[in-house]
Structure 1
């Protein structure tokens, strides 16, 4: 590739980086976050109880967010190609270990490796793509992040088709093998833009972390980011229970979260177009506001028409938040250490993913209903939106 040509933002190489990011996210999400589709086959193959099976998914998501985010911090000064290649190799090793493992411990190692490699690629994709764009940054991120939603739509029927014809190990060879292949192709292409490579990066060390954590705007953004995801992790933990308590049949409620994901695929692309016109921060704030309003209305959802309105609302909110947060924080806090910045925010998101389900159960036990927990989470979501919007204001903006 010609560096002189590729140095231009919004170039052909930029769109290749985005397209590969889309494919990586489709497959990573399709392997890790479709666990419910193949969990029964996995449990049957390894003789696992439901508790042990659910713990495998907990291990995977913890590795995805915490290990992936931490690695994003550590690789800020490392060339991306060997890191991406290593992630592909780790993914391949995990698939290989699955073929010979027969114990719970072995399975935990396999899915811990899958989560770590997947989380690493997630941080790299969402931090690298916005660095390659200027004019079409919102559009590019909308298209790239559509991969998350597409993964949980495209891969489930693939898993079902494979598991009807073969075993879980063989199915993972097919889906996991495709994932490894795409990651290794990305390893050939992925690099930071030449302009950023020429500028170099500031050291990512204790002093760098201390400097950011003593910056009021950075802390406001970090805390706000963690809080504005509260609504999403509550829905992912207990949306079916909330809807059935309100009178929606379990068969209908079981499809609800998939509808949110489906709407978000379209919304991610559309939000990118809006962001390029009215601004990324405004678009994300509107999406978060919609999600918070949905949480306030959700306790009183007892009819299917209202349920579908809320699911579309949540899908639009997710479609606005997911593709825009990384370019916003990279633009505000500088692209020089983009992977480290995104890594820190990903670890903060992990805290929300862990604490919200626990908080939900505690509030349910105290209040014997969903009204207080949902209103609380709606309030936390709004608070998060405000803190994030304030913290990511341009440096020239006056302190509020």
Structure 2
């Protein structure tokens, strides 16, 4: 019996069904990222439709991304305790209810409720995809994950054009129902075939309060988690406010609306290229360099007023985003071990919830106080550099910890 199960498991790996799950994963991530993380494209339409202030609109995105990350992170810790098909189906229903629900509400509270449900359902579907696909591969695991994660970039590359096309023809509520409804359909169809490979067993007995306490009292893990949350803040600000930043700089609104799509397009290639270069130069070094590049782009963003400068900055953001997505998980699992990998990745992922919630709100509030984006984005760039420094320190091999601590001590003195 054991031999039969083992044979079935080996036969399932790298099979046609494995690649079907990759295709469905790409479709799920494309539509989910497209409806949530292109917020900057439709925030103006949302604000007009529901009479929201700038701060209220920013809070909608902050709440959505926060629950997206928290729900995904929590599910990552307890993923093996649930049958995947039913979880994916429930996530699809949640997306459908959010798509329809926005058409039935007429207040800020109602908008927040609809988007919170959207984030919860989307985050749950996301963590299922990124934790399930590797289980179905052996020889082609890296390639499969690279292709699957390209769905994030495809979402922000293609869906903005769908928003713009719809806005020329229908009102915002209808457009949202179409895009979010498409995501719901994809997730519901995926639920029909999503399951773990035959003979796969989850060793979740060690994932309990003791395991969680051990992670949360591990200084290196806490440092890496705090840094990881801080270094993502720039991405959430761009997701919610890039169009406003660029139009404030005098960039044409149509060009600004497509700008975030270019970031996604570049990030697709950066996911593959970042992994390739990271294998040769060291993933932590490449990771830190590319996030520092993104921080530099944040710093100069308020001064961007021409298309050539804009495109150069967007390429920098795409490289930073793609490299982030490609390298963070291998870095974390190399440092903290692959045992209970889904739980470790899920727990770390929750650290970004604070950045997702606070960054757009803080930038909006600081802009109101200072009257522009220069000061807020300068602070954001500094926070990003601090974040990558903490992440780099927290994920350093134990043999390097003493050297880094002495270096930080000298720098602080």
Structure 1: which 5+ residue stretches go unaligned?
A: none
**Residue 140 of structure 1 corresponds to which residue in structure 2?**
144
Asked if 1:281 corresponds to 2:284, the answer is: yes
Whether contact under 8 Å (1:152, 1:261) holds in the other structure is yes
**Residue 264 of structure 1 corresponds to which residue in structure 2?**
267
1:92, 1:337 → 2: CA distance? 32
**Residue 183 of structure 2 corresponds to which residue in structure 1?**
179
1:316 is displaced (CA, Å) by 1.0
| CA separation of 1:79 and 1:231: change in aligned 2, threshold 3 A | same
Superposed counterparts of 1:1-400, under 5 Å: 4=7, 6-7=9-10, 11-12=14-15, 13-35=17-39, 48-51=50-53, 56-98=60-102, 101-104=104-107, 105-133=109-137, 136-162=140-166, 174-192=178-196, 197-198=200-201, 200-240=203-243, 243=246, 252-253=255-256, 255-275=258-278, 278-298=281-301, 300-301=303-304, 303-360=306-363, 372-394=375-397, 400=404
1:28 is displaced (CA, Å) by 0.8
2:276, 2:52 → 1: CA distance? 43
* RMSD between aligned residues: 3.8
| CA separation of 1:243 and 1:332: change in aligned 2, threshold 3 A | same
| CA separation of 1:21 and 1:283: change in aligned 2, threshold 3 A | farther
Whether contact under 8 Å (1:144, 1:323) holds in the other structure is no
Normalising by structure 1, we get a TM-score of 0.80
Whether contact under 8 Å (2:24, 2:190) holds in the other structure is yes
Whether contact under 8 Å (2:76, 2:345) holds in the other structure is yes
**Residue 408 of structure 2 corresponds to which residue in structure 1?**
none
1:189 is displaced (CA, Å) by 3.8
Whether contact under 8 Å (2:65, 2:357) holds in the other structure is no
Deviation digits for residues 297-350 of structure 1 (CA, Å, limit 9, x no counterpart): 445545543332222111111111123323433444344433332332232112
Whether contact under 8 Å (1:141, 1:324) holds in the other structure is no
- 2:215 is paired with a residue whose SS is helix
Instruction: Choose 111-120 or 280-289, whichever is displaced more.
Output: 280-289
Deviation digits for residues 130-172 of structure 1 (CA, Å, limit 9, x no counterpart): 4555665544333222212211332333345456556666655
2:378, 2:163 → 1: CA distance? 37
- 2:186 is paired with a residue whose SS is helix
**Residue 411 of structure 2 corresponds to which residue in structure 1?**
none
1:38, 1:295 → 2: CA distance? 22
Normalising by structure 2, we get a TM-score of 0.78
